[in-house]
Amino acid sequence: MITLRKAQDRGHANHGWLDSWHSFSFASYQDQQNVHFGSLRVINEDRVAAGQGFGSHPHKDMEIISYVLDGELQHGDNMGNGSVIRPGNVQRMSAGSGVVHSEANPSATNPVHFLQIWIIPNKRVQPSYEEKDFPEAEKRGKLRLVVSETGEQGSVLVNQDAKLYIGLFDGAETATLNVSPERLVYVHVARGSVTVNGQQLATGDAAKIRAETAITLSNGNAAEVLLFDVAELE
């Protein structure tokens, strides 16, 4: 069963320096039909103006993943980590028992466009940080595992039974992921367009998928796609 969620149906907040689209309830946007999907709690599509950003603020008990689409995002935290992430990088911060961090656009001229993703953890841990680069060639015409609980295939570790795949699709490129029908699958199109099990999705669209055994992505047009494989929350 596939339920489509169109880009324009997401929550939207424009603060001038920050233009943000919310796939799930977040801040002042409250949608009881879209609070979470399994352990997937937040997908915010953020555009931050040049020289602007989020000042130091706390988090706890959340797995936070950042994925840059265009531009650069500067990270700092009270664990001593400092980094600038760019397209292709996947950054994971386990807030655990508590962490303070900041995110800023270091460019004086260009905006940064990125996805901020939150996954509800399955245990309380000490805060930690990880970052890896996944080149375009590893995602071209395939689904590259970039986040998992086990770190398999060189993926970034996350404290939850959840997997995140990212793929790039154009023209005849196609990929199929076999999944258990008991799992939940959430497909988010970051840009371009693609067909998901026969359903056409455009930029910002998503598919909430239940009780399927295979997910096929095809007919891409400059598509960059994120696919989450998660369990129901107990």
Q: Is 207 exposed, middle or buried (0-12, 13-18, 19+ CB in 10 A)?
A: buried
Mean pLDDT of the region 197-217? 97
The pLDDT > 70 percentage for the chain reads 100
Q: What span, in angstroms and rounded, lies between the C-alpha atoms of 15 and 13?
A: 6
SS3 call for 147: strand
Task: With 0.95 as the threshold, say if the pTM is over it.
Answer: yes
Q: What span, in angstroms and rounded, lies between the C-alpha atoms of 212 and 181?
A: 5
Q: How many CA atoms lie within 13 A of 67 on its CB side?
A: 25
Tell me, what's the pLDDT at 5? 96
Q: What is the pLDDT of residues 55-102, one digit of tens each?
A: 999 899 999 999 999 999 999 989 989 999 999 999 999 999 999 989
Residue 75 identity (one-letter amino acid): H
pLDDT greater than 90 at residue 234: no
Which residue in this structure is represented by tokens 């959340």? Answer: 62
Name the average pLDDT for the chain: 96
Q: Which domain holds residue 224?
A: 2-230
Residue 102 identity (one-letter amino acid): S
- Vertex 68, ends 111 and 66: CA angle to 5°? 120
- Vertex 7, ends 95 and 104: CA angle to 5°? 40
Is 2:196 a contact under the CB 8 Å cutoff? Answer: yes
Phi, psi of 47 (to 5 degrees): -120, 120
The dihedral of CA 152, 157, 159, 162: what is its sign? negative
Question: Which stretch of 80-84, 138-142, 169-173 has the lowest confidence by average pLDDT?
Answer: 80-84
SS3 call for 156: strand
- CA-nearest of 93, 60, 50, 94 to 75 is 93
CATH number for the domain spanning 15: value is: 2.60.120.10
Q: How many CA atoms lie within 13 A of 181 on its CB side?
A: 4
Q: Total structural domains in the chain? A: 1
In the numeric block, which tokens belong to residue 207? Answer: 């598919």
DSSP 120-156: --SS----EEEEEE--HHHHBTS-EEEEESS-GGGPE
